[in-house]
Structure 1
Amino acid sequence: SEAGNDGYTLLNVGASGPIKKTLLPNQPFDQVDDFEPVTPVANFGLVVVVAPDGQFASLDDLVSFGRANPGALNVGSVQVGSTQFLAAKLFLGVAGIDAVVVPFSSTPELMGGVARGEVDVAFEIIPGAKAAIDNAQVLPVATTMNARSALFPDLPTVEEAGIAPYDVSSWNGYSAPIGVADEVKEKLTTAVQTILQMPAVKDKLAAVGAEPYVGTAADMVTRQQQETRMWEKVIIEAGVPIEG
């Protein structure tokens, strides 16, 4: 239906959409094909964390160990099929490391698993890991976007550690029913992007581990297409179950 395509009805979308397009091919609708991007809102970078008193003090340490000891490394994430889980799988593939990815049912359990040594390393979105990092429960060793995180400017990226290409983050934005006018999209993009640059809003985002996502509706279209292809490849190569 074209009802609601005047720009007053928006859907909050995000990184799970391109993933679900492959994992859930029979879903009744999906955000990539059935909605029209309007404006990006926030980026949620991922962070790689280890135990603060463990054998790894850097991502280089971890990669060296993983490559020298196939099958010995245990990598944690939240549930199978999540951005975090696939980020871990992609990392292992690009790094050339044979390791098991262990899914946890929640972020607190995952952070506890790292702290207790149940897993050697974990991939989690910064908002999820921030409290554990702030409390020194876990030690961050890298972030996953291709540029350093404004929230952790002293941390190297995965690519800076020599694991490339590797650029992963979670994100969200607004889409609308198909058919929204270009001038409406442009007006909404300008308004949202202006709001995101307000110091108070940037501070609020930073407090929860997020950064403003500077971009346009066209940027969202490109990103969804790129991530659909990227995650489809990771999902198939990792043997993640696809809904029949």
Structure 2
Amino acid sequence: MLSKFKKQMWVAALCGAAGLAQAQAWPSKTITIVVPFPPGGTTDVLARAVSTKLSANLGQTVIVDNKPGAGATLGAAQVAKANADGYTLLMGAVHHTIATSVYKGLTYSFDKDFAPITTVALVPNVLVVNAKSPYNSVKDLVAAGKTTPDKLAYGSNGNGTAQHMIGTQFQIVSGAQVLHVPYKGSAPLTTDLLGGQVDMSFDTVTPVLPFIKEGKLKPLAVTTAKRSSALPNVPTLQEAGVPGIAIGTWFGLLAPAATPKDVVQKLNTEIVKIINTPDFKKQMLDIGAEPIGNKPDEMAKQIKEETEKFAGLVKAGKVTLD
């Protein structure tokens, strides 16, 4: 018979082996990246760029599931409640740090119910108008917004998104009055912008860049502190006469909070490896995105800082949604 000590050692060894086998078994089935916007927008483009390479690296299918609505909070709520096993991920964005202060009825906590994996990229936002628009500069828009209040309308990706907050701050700083028209994502917004249903948008560079190159949209200013490498000749809002606005849109992957740390770390390692490849970097730069690839704790710090920053802007703009 085994002594009590030997039995304990034997059980511990078995448990350790079982745990190791479980860790090595991941991933053993399809991984889903939930995108909280419709297909065609920057969030979707980045998720699909990552999913294709991640699938090849892990030897498992990685699919993208679009769940748009409520300023990106519907998709986030779905992932927050999903099994914390590493098979359901969220392509989150700066929008979620804003939603924390805007939506009073959220069923999840963005800082407590998610485990950050890595920030994939930062994409500048750009103020664009239809090519046929009579407005050729930021000063033209500001003047129109002051002389004919509520005549102008800007579209956003939804209430509580970065575009909404940029529009809010633009009005506070410039004194122009512009009607906010929320959409479910970049694709329907851009369609209406091209069709003349809205006058302007503060969308990310990625979905509007092709139309800028085709001469269908006019870029008037970028909303980041520095000019965009994709639009080097377009001034910042600061340079265009509207100071104090320095907002870009970051996108990153997160898992449900209780996801095993070894799985989160493996995801971080594999995704950062993808982000640092020359072809992925080129793919990002071609769509106006700046590749990042940070550590989980660095992304967590970023989320905390952004949440605090936008809480102040939401209060100043008196933006509240149920």
TM-score (norm 1): 0.79
The aligned counterpart of 1:130 is: 209
- Taking only aligned residues, the RMSD between alpha carbons, in angstroms, comes to 3.3
Equivalent-residue separation in structure 1 for 2:156 and 2:87 (angstroms): 37
Measure how far apart 1:180 and its partner are: 6.7
The answer on whether the counterparts of 1:126 and 1:209 sit within 8 Å (CA) in structure 2 is: yes
The answer on whether the counterparts of 2:156 and 2:182 sit within 8 Å (CA) in structure 1 is: yes
- Give the residue type in structure 1 aligned to 2:244: P
| Unpaired segments ≥5 residues, structure 2 | 1-82
Residue in structure 1 matching 2:174, options 90, 95, 99 = 95
Q: For residue 125 of structure 2, give the secondary structure of its aligned residue in structure 1.
A: strand
Structure 1 residues 144 and 184 mapped into 2: Cα distance closer, same or farther (>3 Å)?
same
Residue in structure 1 matching 2:304, options 217, 225, 235 = 225
TM-score (norm 2): 0.62
Equivalent-residue separation in structure 2 for 1:193 and 1:107 (angstroms): 26
Equivalent-residue separation in structure 1 for 2:259 and 2:230 (angstroms): 37
The aligned counterpart of 2:244 is: 165
Q: For residue 118 of structure 1, give the secondary structure of its aligned residue in structure 2.
A: coil
Measure how far apart 1:117 and its partner are: 3.7
Larger RCO, structure (CA 8 Å, separation 6 or more): 1
| Unpaired segments ≥5 residues, structure 1 | none
The aligned counterpart of 1:203 is: 282
The answer on whether the counterparts of 1:39 and 1:175 sit within 8 Å (CA) in structure 2 is: yes
The answer on whether the counterparts of 2:103 and 2:320 sit within 8 Å (CA) in structure 1 is: no
> 222-231 vs 136-145, which deviates more?
222-231
Equivalent residue pairs, number? 240
Q: How big is each residue's C-alpha offset from its partner over 1:21-55, in whole Å with a ceiling of 9 and x where there is no partner? A: 22334434333223343321111221110121322
The aligned counterpart of 1:38 is: 117
Measure how far apart 1:237 and its partner are: 4.2
Q: How big is each residue's C-alpha offset from its partner over 1:70-92, in whole Å with a ceiling of 9 and x where there is no partner? A: 44432222322222222211221
The aligned counterpart of 2:135 is: 56
The answer on whether the counterparts of 2:230 and 2:287 sit within 8 Å (CA) in structure 1 is: no
Q: For residue 281 of structure 2, give the secondary structure of its aligned residue in structure 1.
A: helix
Measure how far apart 1:63 and its partner are: 2.6
Task: Give matches, 1:100-179, under 5 Å.
Answer: 100-176=179-255, 177=257
The answer on whether the counterparts of 1:13 and 1:174 sit within 8 Å (CA) in structure 2 is: yes
Q: For residue 94 of structure 1, give the secondary structure of its aligned residue in structure 2.
A: helix
> 139-148 vs 27-36, which deviates more?
27-36
**Overall identity of the aligned pairs, in %:** 28
The answer on whether the counterparts of 2:230 and 2:286 sit within 8 Å (CA) in structure 1 is: no
Runs of 4+ in 1 over 6 A off after TM superposition: 183-188
